[in-house]
Structure 1
Amino acid sequence: MTTRDDEPGSPAGSPGGSGSAVGGPSPLRPGRTAPDLALPRGPGDVVRLSEHAAGRPTLVLFFPLAFSPVCTEELCAVAEDLERWTDVDAAVVAVSVDSPFTVRRFAEETGVPYPVLSDFNREAVTAFGVRDDDYFGLRGVAYRSAFVLDAGLRVVWSWATADDAVLPDLEEVREAVRRAAL
């Protein structure tokens, strides 16, 4: 499910894209302002979304769990793809519900050049409408999803899937980031 700022309507019948999704993700729709959350990337090391974005377009990636093969592939693919974004200065953050200790280790081991943040209290997955309460019997895990925000943290593009083996189309992500930079 992909939504853009020029598409009317609501993804998956979501009235506002917040809270726990029933039957699939209900991501924040384009035009909505993303919450300015502060999440740890390690114990005592908190990143506030607006400060990291610093007035730049921002890609926010949600992934189910650190160290799983598909999640590792996704974050590494995005890191490699960033080299192709030379025409736009954009910020990137990745978010999972793993502990701050786990996301720090995951970031170190994968070597991704952007912050990997812990949403251990499920504030972000709930606020962005991508909380999965039945992930192989686990509750409160993130649906794999991506949001492109403009300089004011307004959602200009969103993508989410209930199929954890599917990755976002990085060409679509790049194009959305470029549009957000205009």
Structure 2
Amino acid sequence: MALAVGTKAPDFTLKTKTADGLKDIKLSDHLGKDQVVLLFFPLAYTGVCTQEMCDISNGLSGYASLGATVYGISVDSPFTHEAWAKANKITVTLLSDLNKTTTKAYDVVFLNLAGVGDTSARAAFVIGKDGVIKYAEQTPTPKDLPSFEKIKAALAK
């Protein structure tokens, strides 16, 4: 079960692939500056995950206007993320949790997805400038999307 609202969000350092190479992204770099939306998803190149990240990419300015930075997190490599993002025009910053340390810290592991192994569950967290979780949701199945209306409402508070 996902970490609860009111819990201090575990810090992390995850890799993303940029034009300049691999870059570290740290949650703690946002403290006192902006809110963060973490969108955990099972796997790149799957239908629901592609649709979710494409939809979020198309609406990124709405999150920015609410003072939030959005990250997509999965157990895929940063190189897979880069290829997937290019192929699908995904502009959300994608973070690689290849070792599943952040997925485990947020307690959103989906065990043995489709018989291929453990992945991130589909989950969403809103983290305030103070580093505390303001909204948390793990969907019942990987096919279900989080409530983006509730995410935006939490950001607006």
Q: Is the pair's TM-score, using the shorter chain for normalization, greater than 0.5?
A: yes
Structure 2: unaligned runs, 5 residues or longer:
none
**Secondary structure of 2:70 counterpart:** strand
1:90 partner amino acid: A
Structure-2 separation of matches of 1:109 and 1:54: 35
**Secondary structure of 2:113 counterpart:** coil
Answer with 45-54 or 149-158: which moved more. 45-54
Using the aligned pairs only, state the percent identity: 31
Q: What does residue 34 of structure 2 align with?
A: 56
Matched pairs, number: 154
| TM-score (normalised: structure 2) | 0.89
| TM-score (normalised: structure 1) | 0.77
Q: How big is each residue's C-alpha offset from its partner over 1:53-96, in whole Å with a ceiling of 9 and x where there is no partner? A: 66211100000000111101001112223333464221111100
Q: What does residue 30 of structure 1 align with?
A: 5
Match of 1:129 among 94, 101, 107: 107
Structure-1 separation of matches of 2:54 and 2:31: 20
**Secondary structure of 2:102 counterpart:** helix
**Secondary structure of 1:39 counterpart:** strand
Q: How far off its partner does 1:141 sit? A: 0.2
Structure 1: unaligned runs, 5 residues or longer:
1-25
Answer with 44-53 or 134-143: which moved more. 44-53
Match of 1:101 among 74, 79, 85: 79
Structure-1 separation of matches of 2:70 and 2:31: 8
1:46 and 2:24 matched: yes
Q: What does residue 68 of structure 2 align with?
A: 90
Q: What does residue 161 of structure 1 align with?
A: 139
1:151 and 2:129 matched: yes
